[in-house]
Amino acid sequence: MGLQLVTAYSYWLIPLCLAFGAGLAAVLYYRNTPGDFSRNLRWILSLFRFLSGSIVAFLLLSPMIKTIVRTTEKPVVVIAVDNSGSMILGKDSLFVMNELSEKLDDLAGQLGDDFDLVRYTFGEQVIRNDSLDFSGKLTDISAFITQLNNRYYNRNLGAVILASDGIYNVGSDPSYLVRDVSYPVYTINTGDTNQHRDLLIKRINYNRLAYKGNRFPIEILVQAYESAGESSLVKVYHKEVEIFSEEIRFISDKQVVTIPVTAAAEETGKLRFRINIEPIDGEANESNNTREIVIEVKEGRQKIAIVGNSPHPDLAAIERALGNSNNFETELFFADNFTENPANFSLFILHQLPSVTNQSSKLLGELARLNVPVLYILGNQSDISLFNAQKSGLSLSGFNNSFNESLPVFNADFPLFISSENLKQLLQIVPPLNTPFAKYSIGNAAYIYANQAIGASATSMPLIFFNQNPDRRTGVIAGEGIWRWRLADYSKNQNQLAFDELFGKMAQYLAVKDVKSRFRVSARDFYAENENIEFGATLFNESYELINDKLVTLVIIGEDGKKYEFEFTPAGESYQLNAGNFKPGIFRFQASAETGTGTLMQQGSFVITALNLEDINTVANHKLLNTMAELTGGSGFDPGRIPDIANIIKSRKDIKPVTYVRKRYTDLISFLPLLLLIIGLLGTEWFLRKYYGSY
């Protein structure tokens, strides 16, 4: 560390500061010399005044102390291990399980104190540790490379040592992500690159939802390797009863056979089916011969009427979104030709109705009389005064046919249903809706899903909200142009799943039949085994006001009868619960809320589906690993050559410590000892003058 005194002005001004101090002393003690002061005292007092005056004048030059700090950063070496299940399915599985960790510890010891060593594991997640259990259900090498580049940006990252079989089943090709990195990648290539004899269930195509009394298809794709001339049986079981069996023969060493199956939905609930391929002689891996699927059987679909004032792209977008759901059956009408019985529908979506050209009085009156749920969508054709009379929970005043461009701002405390992270991210990038410029007033039973943001300013005006009372549910989208949201979803995700989820959740909430329940619990029907099981709950008092100060508990019951007890946590105006992970299976849950006057109960079920991606492809991809190494100036190594990696890294001239120089400037006027010195000089001078009789 070095110190240097610098000023904002030229150093040639320093003699002027000294001259100023000397002149001040001369004027005070030699031009007007006090008669009672001795010669020596005058010299002492002059010195004090000279020093204090010179220092004060010097401070006017804005002097600063420049501190130069040099720090040396050792090169970082990252040791990362693929912790997924495919790592222990190859011929070297015993080495991977029993010796790999020890070999990497020895490698770290060889590198010694010359490097800053960091250990990571990756699979489903990137974790900074060296604990290996090879239990990961997925492998995403690209996520590891991405996080590495972000975490060590502008750091002295010397090298990356990557132990993997090169098999990835999530994410992008990692070789594209390392093309521009500045560090070498040294790969430890594990696993077996040979394709052995194997039968596996490559994929099962099926709908997760069926309806009672119908027959539904299941399509099984069987992949065969090195099995020409062999035959096997494909069987399907329900409740351990065989419902389908078919023999298949393989005529080539790499073949995919498709087996169509039709099953009957004879009962409601979640039905489990087990698909099994009988193994053949010499099969290397039998863990991928069995898969299970769960299909939910319901009584029937809910019918939704989409009624528009006139043709509009919003109508097509909404119809497609709801048409992609197995829960709903949609029909599109225009107000002029609607002749159906409203009682035949569970939900009406009214686009710009009532309008300035079509009041739709008969339809609106029937919907109100029958208490049919309605989702209103406002636009430039809407008759706002007639809309205000519909008791939707929203009233607009001061409307003068002007419109705003309004973006959505998601309400994190919205309690009525759960939105996925993908949907929340979509709401941050969608284009604005065309909304009426007016004063918005909502009722006490309204729950805002998203507010309006006009330009960069968020407002309290609702863009999407729901009104709930004991007799009828309504919702309002306060603007048109939502078809562009579906395009934005495709542009971002190459699908419309988030947009479809939004309308599916809205329709599912509005069309639910049990609207008078004071206690509701929401959860998804299906979860992957690596996902956390999350629940939401809402509780109302006798006046149908939302409360969250009561005890709400939940019990999850597995197929073996084992119970897991949890307690909800208040969140906003509702409740939330993260129950963590569970093994694959069908689970029931029972939720209860203590209201003070009694106990309210809700029950349901959900399914945890198994992730089998690690079993499907077990052939190591050393070509990918070697490509990553070559692109970065590294090398690929067999597990037996792990010690050589340390010698190569040590011998590289470009992997070396980096010295950083940091400069810091501190104003001298803020230096406390200097201020105390000035005060001391002036104080001592004043004391001596006072003591010897001068003022």
| Residue 1 pLDDT grade (very low, low, confident, very high; cuts 50, 70, 90) | low
Res 507 pLDDT > 80: yes
Interval 560-570 mean pLDDT: 94
| Residue 525 pLDDT grade (very low, low, confident, very high; cuts 50, 70, 90) | confident
Structure tokens at 310: 């006139």
Interval 243-254 mean pLDDT: 93
pLDDT, mean over the chain: 89
Res 306 pLDDT > 90: yes
Res 515 pLDDT > 70: no
> Residue 464: phi, psi to the nearest 5?
-130, 125
CA distances from 13 to 58, 59, 65, 428 (A): 8, 11, 17, 58
- pLDDT at res. 65: 84
CA–CA separation, 339 and 207 (whole Å): 33
Give the tens place of pLDDT for each residue, 463-476: 999 997 767 889 99
Give the tens place of pLDDT for each residue, 335-393: 988 889 999 999 999 999 999 999 998 999 999 999 899 999 999 999 999 999 998 99
The model carries a pTM of 0.62
Beta carbons of 206 and 216 less than 8 angstroms apart:
yes
Res 39 pLDDT > 80: no
Q: Which residue has the higher pLDDT, 327 or 118?
A: 118
Q: In 3D, which of 189, 214, 84 has the Cα closest to residue 614?
A: 84
Handedness of CA 159, 165, 170, 175 (dihedral sign): positive
Give the tens place of pLDDT for each residue, 127-159: 998 889 998 889 999 999 999 999 998 889 999
| Residue 694 pLDDT grade (very low, low, confident, very high; cuts 50, 70, 90) | low
What percent of the chain is predicted at pLDDT more than 70? 97
Collapse the DSSP code of 255 into the 3-class scheme (helix H, G, I; strand E, B; otherwise coil) and give the result: strand
What percent of the chain is predicted at pLDDT more than 90? 52
Give the tens place of pLDDT for each residue, 412-463: 888 788 788 899 999 999 999 999 999 999 987 789 999 999 988 899 999 9
CA distances from 503 to 276, 382, 475 (A): 37, 21, 11
- pLDDT at res. 120: 95
Interval 241-250 mean pLDDT: 93
Give residues with Cβ within 8 angstroms of 533, minimum separation 6: 523, 527, 556, 578, 579, 580, 581, 582, 606, 608
> Residue 370: phi, psi to the nearest 5?
-85, -5
- pLDDT at res. 626: 95
Res 300 pLDDT > 90: no
User: Letter for the amino acid at 149?
Assistant: N
- pLDDT at res. 520: 87
Res 479 pLDDT > 50: yes
Res 695 pLDDT > 60: no
Give the tens place of pLDDT for each residue, 182-225: 999 999 999 988 888 999 998 898 888 788 888 888 999 999 99
Structure tokens at 477: 């989208």
Domains of the chain, earliest start first:
2-69+664-691 (no CATH), 75-194+619-656 (3.40.50.410), 198-298 (2.60.40.10), 302-511 (3.40.50.880), 519-609 (2.60.40.1220)
- pLDDT at res. 477: 97
